Amino acid sequence: MRYLCAVLLLTSAVPSFADIYKWVDERGVVSYTEDLGKVPVKYRKKVTVITDAPPPAAEVTETVVEQGGKQKKPVVEQKDVQKTPVLKQEKKTVYGGKDEAAWKAEFDKLRSDIKVYEGELAERKAKIANPGTMSRGEYLGLQTEVKRIDEKLADLNGKLNALKESAQKAGVPAELRK
């Protein structure tokens, strides 16, 4: 329990920097939010994602007053001021609430899973092609595995087709859907 409290205290002190979403409506009004869910659906395809940088360090300004009430020019000291990058604008186009990288990752994962199961299916079918080297129980077990793999492949292909349809509706470019 103490460990959990210590972790919570330490993590709460760490500043968090989130992405900022920018969009322009039909009247030309520019709006910003940190929550993609607050962007109206009709503008999500045209959202610009701005990666938030840490706030700049504070400057310390001193005014020196000489005897007699005359002021000298202000002295500006910069203490431990790090060069902070300007807000870096990355143009991440968002489709249906996900950026291109998320869509690509989903397609790649499904296609990778399909290839793995296709390889397993080919392996099992090659073993079944030579039934003379195995017992009846082994042969029936392989048939059951082939059926299970076929069902899994059908499920994955269905998911891939559904993802393609969803991507097309969201306006994802064709080269990402291939």
User: pLDDT tens digits for 128-164?
Assistant: 888 888 888 888 898 999 999 999 999 999 999 998 8
Domain termination residue (choose one: 46, 73, 92): 92
> Which residue type, as a one-letter code, is found at position 117?
Y
Q: Which residues pair with 60 in a beta bridge?
A: 77
Domain termination residue (choose one: 62, 92, 122): 92
CA distances from 14 to 1, 60, 82 (A): 21, 24, 18
Compute the average pLDDT of residues 47-72.
Answer: 59
Of residues 48 and 6, more confidence is placed in 48
Point out the least confidently predicted range of 29-33, 87-91, 113-117, 158-162: 87-91
Of residues 40 and 44, more confidence is placed in 40
Compute the average pLDDT of residues 86-107.
Answer: 74
Strand 19-24 versus strand 30-33 pairing type: antiparallel
Domain termination residue (choose one: 92, 122, 137): 92
Compute the average pLDDT of residues 119-123.
Answer: 91
